[in-house]
A and B are shown apart, each in its own frame.
Chain A
Amino acid sequence: MSAPRMRLTLSTAPFLRSEQDTPWLMWQVVYALIPPIAASIYFFGLSSVLVLSTAVFSCLLTEWYFPSEPNGMKGESLRDGSALITGLLLGLTLPPNMSLWMVALGGVVAIGVGKILWGGLGQNIFNPALLGRAFLQAAFPTAITTFSEPAKDFFSLSSSTLALPLMKASSMDVITSATPLSKMKFEKEGTELWSLLIGNTSGSLGETCAVLILLSGLYLLVRGIIQWRIPAGIFLSVILFSGILHLIKPDLYPSPIFMILSGGLLLGTFFMATDLVTSPLTPKGCWFFGLGVGFLTVLIRVFGGLPEGMMYAILLMNSVVPLIQRVSQQRVYGT
């Protein structure tokens, strides 16, 4: 034989594997987040950089400190990139002048309570970033609903950003501004479509620029990272539900286009509702899930006490995913 001492490995078929492994999937999401991140830095300057890096750092640190495997190596799970996504998404859903210590706390809760407690990657029921944000919303309801206009120049910072933990910062130095959704809810005042599209409004860091988020979403769809059924379900139910309301009373209920372009709907649709881990597996289940998220979002926005409902809509639907799965099992071939 040509190679007498060759060693043959024994394993079982298949011997070919798709080259797209889990870290690859996660990094694609990170790449897709670059446009919204760039937009948030463009509009909100240094405060965006600080909030995002604080959120990322605290998420990574938490992930590093708690190995998800009983005998796992510290930091082993950092490589799959999922903690980085959680950090970025958490940061992008926060207002630009949020105090950094609160942001850091949010990151610890997002990874610690939202993911590690369940057993790490793939085991959690709720989207970790949104769980972290829900915690912040409950703990600091004022801070998380205080939005500022886009920054005048890159280095302008609000004093609240660097406030010490548990200290009350004077909120007088920043011109607060209502988001398009709160203007609509509390003042019945619309926002120009153009501003919603390019993101020149107040709002959470990553949610304002609709055009770039749509582009990112398209990238994820084309690359096959997310499935189209959940976004389709969300858009369908938002358009139907808010469209009917708008037709009944156009001056009281905003148009479907406004509904889709404002607030966190787009960011939530493409990056959080479609989170692989916390959305249903089955095609039919994805439809149910998407329709439910859209419906609940409009319900909360229009009839609830809060101007924005995307976060709670997704978290609520996350909680019923096991049920959705049970009723949406596929028909087996030949049955």
Chain B
Amino acid sequence: MLFSDPKDDGRPGTFSHGIHPEDYKSFTCELPIERMEFVPEYVIPLSQHIGAPAVAEVEKGQKVQRGDRIASPGGYVSVAYHSPVSGVVKTVELRDHPCGEARPSIVIEADPFSSQKFQQRGELDWLNMSTPQFISLVQGAGIVGLGGAAFPTHVKIAVPEGKNCRFLILNGCECEPFLTADHRVMLENANSLLYGTRLLAKFLGAQKAYIGIELNKLDAIEILKQKAAEQEYDVEVVPLEVKYPQGAEKMLITAILRKEVPSGKLPIDMDVVVSNVSTTVAIADYFQSQKPLIERVLTVTGPGIRRPANMRVPVGTPIRDVLDACGGLVDETSRIILGGPMMGMVQKSLDVPITKGTSGILALTDREVHELKTYKCVRCARCIEACPAFLNPSQLGLLARKSRFEEMVDASLMDCMECASCSFACPSGIPLVQSFRMAKSYVREKKAKE
């Protein structure tokens, strides 16, 4: 047998455990993607991805065109950065970063008289291209995972020696409540998505591509099924049960291939590479018109936003400007979050820029974030029923309270993917995942010191 086909029993794919939060997607799921207007100033942090920061290639006062390279990769796990606008480099200095700290950033003043039209440069001849060439072009295009983690894509698609990739899985789950950017991209950029899929499948050597989409995006499933049938390569759209965290890489693989990724292993160890749909479209854009990753689609939503929208926004746009373009905030807004409500990051300032990994701006009021009074654990086991990694969050939580980190590691702490399902489910309002995040970073730091 060449390779085992996933079981097909007619039911939508899914994984064990998980939670069903209200999805709040109706704010924006019907709204076509709008283009954000250009603003006077852009801030491009040099570390928007996981890995080594990029190295600035421009100086104060230098003129740049839209799409020009302004920073080169600072190592293998690093990518290039490009100017989102035509204008002048105002400065290279420390600026507020969505992570909460100030980070080196290139600040560009947009040229108010420029048309800001991107000079398309025609399709690249990828048919006669070698795999290493392809991978270095992806790195040079500044492409990182757009689903939120912002891991450099070229590292992910470089299949290590001795391994091979049989399946390419495209992640169109978008399981975080509120977010609809990937949904709209699948609807409006279906052709690019399939073009990108074909590219990835070719260079990975994958025999088959799957596009996993949750069943709350029926229109996207329909369109992509139609288009997939017209393709010359093997691509299948797999409808998936609506459940959080369906979009987590391991959960998605389990849902589609009905197999578990062994603890401590990567998808490639199971002959699988997973790529987010918007990332795949970004790859297609580069190979079709040589447009690097200088803008992305994100969802601006939540009850705190006057006019929710799906927007195509240049990377580096301050969130203040994006919020203004969406009619501003209502007075009761109490939290601004970059990303989704389950794993996103709360912001203290509206001056931070949109980065490559920003999948949404969420403005919540105290009504949605009902801070529960904290009770003692009543051992209801809801966290155990929720945890997709099959951990015992209740027990881990008790250990965390006593700072017994070594015992937490013995209880498989490092298998926690920080999806926050446990904290969502806990009726006693115990900050479970919050304490696991701290414990994990403590353990990692300690390991790094040794």
- Residues on A with C-beta less than 8 A from B423 are 14, 17
For the complex, is B428 an interface residue (Cβ under 8 Å from A)?
yes
Stretch at the interface among B103-111, B152-160, B179-187, B369-377: B369-377
Interface centre among B306, B329, B366, B390, by most chain A C-beta atoms within 10 angstroms, is B390
User: Which A-chain residue is minimally distant from B364 (CB atoms)?
Assistant: A15
For the complex, is B26 an interface residue (Cβ under 8 Å from A)?
no
User: Which B-chain residue is minimally distant from A332 (CB atoms)?
Assistant: B412
What does DSSP make chain B's interface, helix, strand, loop or mixed? loop
A3 in complex: contacting residue of B177, B264, B331, B344, CB < 8 Å: B331
Interface centre among A13, A227, A335, by most chain B C-beta atoms within 10 angstroms, is A13
B335 in complex: contacting residue of A9, A25, A277, A283, CB < 8 Å: A9
Q: Are B428 and A21 in contact (CB-based, < 8 A)? A: yes
- Residues on B with C-beta less than 8 A from A173 are none
Contact with A along B367-402 (1 / 0, CB 8 A): 011111101111111101000111110110000000
Contact with A along B310-330 (1 / 0, CB 8 A): 000000000010011001111
Stretch at the interface among A116-124, A152-160, A214-222: A116-124
B378 in complex: contacting residue of A17, A19, A276, CB < 8 Å: A276
Q: Are A12 and B342 in contact (CB-based, < 8 A)? A: no
B263 in complex: contacting residue of A13, A120, A227, A333, CB < 8 Å: A333
A330 in complex: contacting residue of B345, B384, B425, CB < 8 Å: B384
Instruction: Give Cα A170 to B267, complex, Å.
Output: 78
> How far in angstroms is the closest Cβ of chain A from B245?
11
Instruction: Give Cα A20 to B19, complex, Å.
Output: 13
> How far in angstroms is the closest Cβ of chain B from A234?
17
Q: Are A282 and B384 in contact (CB-based, < 8 A)? A: yes
Q: Are A12 and B324 in contact (CB-based, < 8 A)? A: no
For the complex, is B247 an interface residue (Cβ under 8 Å from A)?
no
Q: Are A13 and B342 in contact (CB-based, < 8 A)? A: yes
Instruction: Give Cα A330 to B395, complex, Å.
Output: 12
A281 in complex: contacting residue of B22, B381, B388, B389, CB < 8 Å: B381
> How far in angstroms is the closest Cβ of chain B from A300?
26
Interface size class of B (residues with CB under 8 A): 35 or more
- Residues on A with C-beta less than 8 A from B218 are none
> How far in angstroms is the closest Cβ of chain A from B117?
30
Q: Are B378 and A277 in contact (CB-based, < 8 A)? A: yes
Contact with A along B334-359 (1 / 0, CB 8 A): 11110101111111101000000000
Q: Are A7 and B334 in contact (CB-based, < 8 A)? A: yes
Given contacts A8-B334, A12-B346, contact A121 B378 (CB under 8 A): yes
Q: Are A16 and B372 in contact (CB-based, < 8 A)? A: no
Contact with B along A157-176 (1 / 0, CB 8 A): 00000000000000000000
> How far in angstroms is the closest Cβ of chain B from A227?
7
For the complex, is B262 an interface residue (Cβ under 8 Å from A)?
yes
Interface centre among B329, B375, B392, B426, by most chain A C-beta atoms within 10 angstroms, is B375
Q: Are B372 and A15 in contact (CB-based, < 8 A)? A: no
B350 in complex: contacting residue of A1, A19, A282, CB < 8 Å: A1
> How far in angstroms is the closest Cβ of chain B from A325?
8
Q: Are A24 and B375 in contact (CB-based, < 8 A)? A: no
Instruction: Give Cα A333 to B416, complex, Å.
Output: 10
B390 in complex: contacting residue of A119, A123, A332, CB < 8 Å: A332
> How far in angstroms is the closest Cβ of chain B from A6?
6
B392 in complex: contacting residue of A14, A23, A80, A330, CB < 8 Å: A330
> How far in angstroms is the closest Cβ of chain A from B421?
8
- Residues on B with C-beta less than 8 A from A283 are 384
Interface centre among A120, A279, A332, A334, by most chain B C-beta atoms within 10 angstroms, is A334
Instruction: Give Cα A10 to B343, complex, Å.
Output: 14
User: Which B-chain residue is minimally distant from A12 (CB atoms)?
Assistant: B434
User: Which A-chain residue is minimally distant from B320 (CB atoms)?
Assistant: A1
Instruction: Give Cα A6 to B332, complex, Å.
Output: 8
> How far in angstroms is the closest Cβ of chain A from B22?
8
Given contacts A15-B344, A281-B394, contact A333 B415 (CB under 8 A): yes
B427 in complex: contacting residue of A6, A22, A119, CB < 8 Å: A22
- Residues on B with C-beta less than 8 A from A1 are 320, 323-324, 328-329, 350
- Residues on A with C-beta less than 8 A from B372 are 17, 21
Q: Are A3 and B341 in contact (CB-based, < 8 A)? A: no
Given contacts A17-B370, A24-B427, A333-B415, contact A8 B335 (CB under 8 A): yes
Given contacts A227-B381, A334-B415, contact A122 B375 (CB under 8 A): yes
Q: Are A334 and B331 in contact (CB-based, < 8 A)? A: no
Q: Which of A78-135 contact B (CB under 8 A)?
A: 80, 82, 119-123
Contact with B along A301-335 (1 / 0, CB 8 A): 00000000000000000000000000001111111
> How far in angstroms is the closest Cβ of chain B from A324?
13
Q: Are B390 and A333 in contact (CB-based, < 8 A)? A: yes
Q: Are B376 and A122 in contact (CB-based, < 8 A)? A: yes
Q: Are B424 and A16 in contact (CB-based, < 8 A)? A: yes
> How far in angstroms is the closest Cβ of chain A from B377?
5
User: Which A-chain residue is minimally distant from B411 (CB atoms)?
Assistant: A329
User: Which A-chain residue is minimally distant from B388 (CB atoms)?
Assistant: A333
Q: Are B343 and A14 in contact (CB-based, < 8 A)? A: yes
Q: Are B334 and A14 in contact (CB-based, < 8 A)? A: no
Q: Are B424 and A121 in contact (CB-based, < 8 A)? A: no
Given contacts A332-B412, A334-B415, contact A2 B335 (CB under 8 A): no
- Residues on A with C-beta less than 8 A from B437 are 12
Instruction: Give Cα A303 to B205, complex, Å.
Output: 69
For the complex, is A11 an interface residue (Cβ under 8 Å from B)?
yes
User: Which B-chain residue is minimally distant from A80 (CB atoms)?
Assistant: B375
Q: Are A14 and B424 in contact (CB-based, < 8 A)? A: yes
Q: Are A329 and B424 in contact (CB-based, < 8 A)? A: no
For the complex, is B11 an interface residue (Cβ under 8 Å from A)?
no
- Residues on A with C-beta less than 8 A from B260 are 333-334
For the complex, is A71 an interface residue (Cβ under 8 Å from B)?
no
Q: Are B428 and A6 in contact (CB-based, < 8 A)? A: no
Given contacts A329-B392, A332-B390, contact A18 B427 (CB under 8 A): yes
For the complex, is B21 an interface residue (Cβ under 8 Å from A)?
yes
Q: Are A10 and B348 in contact (CB-based, < 8 A)? A: yes
For the complex, is B333 an interface residue (Cβ under 8 Å from A)?
yes
For the complex, is B36 an interface residue (Cβ under 8 Å from A)?
no
Q: Are B376 and A15 in contact (CB-based, < 8 A)? A: no
Q: Are A13 and B378 in contact (CB-based, < 8 A)? A: no
A interface with B by C-beta (< 8 Å): 1-3, 6-25, 80, 82, 119-123, 227, 276-277, 279, 281-283, 329-335
Instruction: Across the A-B interface, give the 5 residue pairs with the lowest CB-CB distance, nearest first.
Output: A2-B328, A14-B420, A122-B376, A334-B263, A15-B341
| A-B contact list, 5 entries, CB within 8 Å | A9-B335, A16-B341, A121-B378, A122-B378, A332-B389
